[in-house]
Amino acid sequence: MKAYFAGGCFWCVTPIYKIYGVDSVVCGYSGGDEVNPSYKDVKAQKTGHRETIELTYEEDNVSFDKLLDIYFANVDPFDGEGQYIDKGFSYTLAIYYQNDEEKEIAESRIKALEEESGKKFRWL
C-alpha cells in the first residue's frame, strides 16, 4: 500500500515514519503543474508543489488510520502558512488519499480533531 502526506519539510517528517512499520519513505513533490520541479524552485514557491512523502507499507503491520495518528501528532494543522519555521505553500499540509475509504477516514479524523480542539484546520 502507499500513502502520501505533505507535512512541511519532507526531511523533517521522513524519519518519523521509518520507525512505525513503514517499509519505505520517499521524498518528492505533489500538487503542482510543473513536470520534474527542482528543489530550488519548489522551496522558492515557484511551482505550486508541496513537499510530500510517499509511504510504502503493509496493512498487516500498520493501518492508514495509524499513519494518520502519526501525521497529526507531528504537524500543526492550525498553521495555514506552513509548518513550524518553514513557511510558504510548499510547506503546507495535504493528505493525498488514494480511494474513497481513505478520503472518508481522513475527513472523519479532521472533523473529530476540529470538534475536540474548537479550531478549524488551516488547509489551503
Which sequence positions are flagged as catalytic? Answer: 9
Q: Is the dihedral of CA 61, 76, 120, 5 positive or negative?
A: negative
Amino acid identity of residue 90, one-letter, is S
